[in-house]
Amino acid sequence: MTDLTDLTRLSASALADALARREVSSVEVTSACLDRIAAVDGDVHAFLHVASESALETARGVDARRARGEALPTLAGVPIAVKDVMTTRGMPTTCGSKILQGWVPPYDSTVVAKIKAAGMPILGKTNMDEFAMGSSTEHSAYGPTRNPWDLGRIPGGSGGGSAAAVAAYEAPLATGTDTGGSIRQPASVTGTVGTKPTYGGVSRYGLVALASSLDQAGPVARTVLDTALLHEVMAGYDPMDSTSINAPVPGVVEAARRGDVSRLRIGVVKELGGEGYQAGVRTRFEEAVQLLVDAGATVVEVSCPSFVYALAAYYLILPSEASSNLAKFDAMRYGLRVTPDGDPSAEQVMAATRDAGFGPEVKRRIILGTYALSSGYYDAYYGSAQKVRRLIADDFARAFTTADVLVSPTAPTTAFAFGDKIDDPLAMYLNDVATIPANLAGLPGMSLPSGLADEDGLPTGIQVLAPAMADDRLYSVGAALERALEARWGGPLLHRAPELTTSRKEA
């Protein structure tokens, strides 16, 4: 029998098992999550919109179908939070921006449609850096999300809301998107698990685009198995997305249940470590690598020399694509419209709306991208960055001839304090130095907890990278390492997080 004392503390897989055995109802599980949100989200601010009524309606429907003896999907009745970059019919989709404040899309993204088809109650939409531009969720137009481990610290970004919701036990599962690390870096600093699937492995239809050649939706959870279960729901070919891969979904759930590294070659990336990485991050990473050796893996060092140029290339490619994608927000069709006094032209309305609707980080990247794409500079900047991208893909290809997966720290540091880097864009951008290469090459990556840093007692993360469409390898390594780390730390890492018991709304 499952211990049902606190439903919010159970893993998604444990909840799914209890629901299937009818030990608990979806209404009870969903209500517990909604109560938890009401109790702690005044402090955490993980959610921009809480969909209590529709979540409970879905839960009641699942319970009724189960009572009739219908065969249901594995995660039917398990609640989930959705990052506010995914269009969701009947719910606001703001992308953390004032320019979309109050916009309710008339259609679901493919990911949301799959979640609904799986019978999963959607608890609401989670906070994020505006248009997914940021590494701290400080760039949200609706205020920052706070890290449940320390409310004075950032939860990562851009998907800090999803990671914090899972870490604070407000939701067992959440969706994220990863353009340069926006699933993996928040997972690292909140002690959760997050996966960026192979580019094209999960449909981008209905994701409000930041950088179309980099964006990838993926799962966020508290365990490797839970992450795999949600990955399986989200993944698969979609004809509505021209970049979607028409191939079977890798066996991620089977790999997560197996968790075997006994014959795997683990490559430690020379360029993703050393100077600039916090001592506690390095220590926990080295310990995790040793645990993989103890579990039977072979560890080799690999060199990817072009990785040192990844950050510079990324911050030319991403702003260029963002400049193009965000041109659609023109005040003419939907979203915010600011009309200057007098008889303004369409151009004046657009300019006034964008000035009022976009935050400073979005403006910064639009300006950078527009400049990089401008006549006379295209080849020197955007074109050169694409050549570096090719070199990075070649480095990965060579590395995977000697290693089955690659590993590195996920982020250089643990969660930093609010305000520490908000006025220094370069320092902020460096948070993604280890995660960006996988996005440039379109490869899958996972972050899972590697322990707590000695200096501050905050979570650290280890990143696992695999070749394209070998997402299952992430889960084999992740599950084996998770098992070894739980033995090392005396139980699941997240259960060591400080307890949140009250909210500012109630205080």
Domain assignment present for residue 198? The answer is yes
Domain assignment present for residue 368? The answer is no
Span 178-187, average pLDDT:
98
CATH at 259? 3.90.1300.10
Domain assignment present for residue 87? The answer is yes
CA angle 362-327-175, nearest 5°?
A: 60
Q: Give the residue from 295, 302, 264 showing the smallest Cα distance to 404.
A: 264
More confident residue, 492 or 38: 38
CA angle 435-440-446, nearest 5°?
A: 35
Report which DSSP code applies to 59: H
Q: Give the residue from 324, 295, 1, 37 showing the smallest Cα distance to 169.
A: 37
* 34 pLDDT more than 60: yes
* 492 pLDDT more than 90: no
* 5 pLDDT more than 90: no
Lowest-pLDDT choice from 87-91, 444-448, 484-488: 484-488
Write the pLDDT tens digit of every residue in 144-162.
999 999 999 999 999 999 9
Domain assignment present for residue 88? The answer is yes
Q: What is the pLDDT of residue 504?
A: 41
Q: What is the pLDDT of residue 496?
A: 64
Domain assignment present for residue 339? The answer is no
- Taking the C-alpha atoms of residue 54 and residue 86, their distance in angstroms, rounded to an integer, is 17
Domain assignment present for residue 379? The answer is no
- What whole-number percentage of the chain has pLDDT above 70? 97
* 507 pLDDT more than 60: no
Span 280-292, average pLDDT:
97
The model's confidence at residue 4, banded by pLDDT at 50, 70 and 90, is: confident
Structure tokens at 185: 């870096």
Domain assignment present for residue 466? The answer is yes
Write the pLDDT tens digit of every residue in 421-473.
998 888 899 999 999 999 999 999 999 999 999 999 999 999 999 999 999 99
Helix (H) or strand (E) holding 230: helix 224-234
Based on the structure, what is the number of domains in the chain?
A: 1
- Taking the C-alpha atoms of residue 332 and residue 339, their distance in angstroms, rounded to an integer, is 11
Domain that holds residue 280: 9-307+389-496
- Taking the C-alpha atoms of residue 265 and residue 130, their distance in angstroms, rounded to an integer, is 39
Catalytically annotated residues: 83, 158, 182
Buried b / exposed e over 415-441, threshold 16 CB at 10 Å, is bbebebbbeebeebbbbbbbbbbbbbb
Domain assignment present for residue 156? The answer is yes
CB 389 within 8 A of CB 346: no
CB 45 within 8 A of CB 127: yes
Span 208-219, average pLDDT:
97
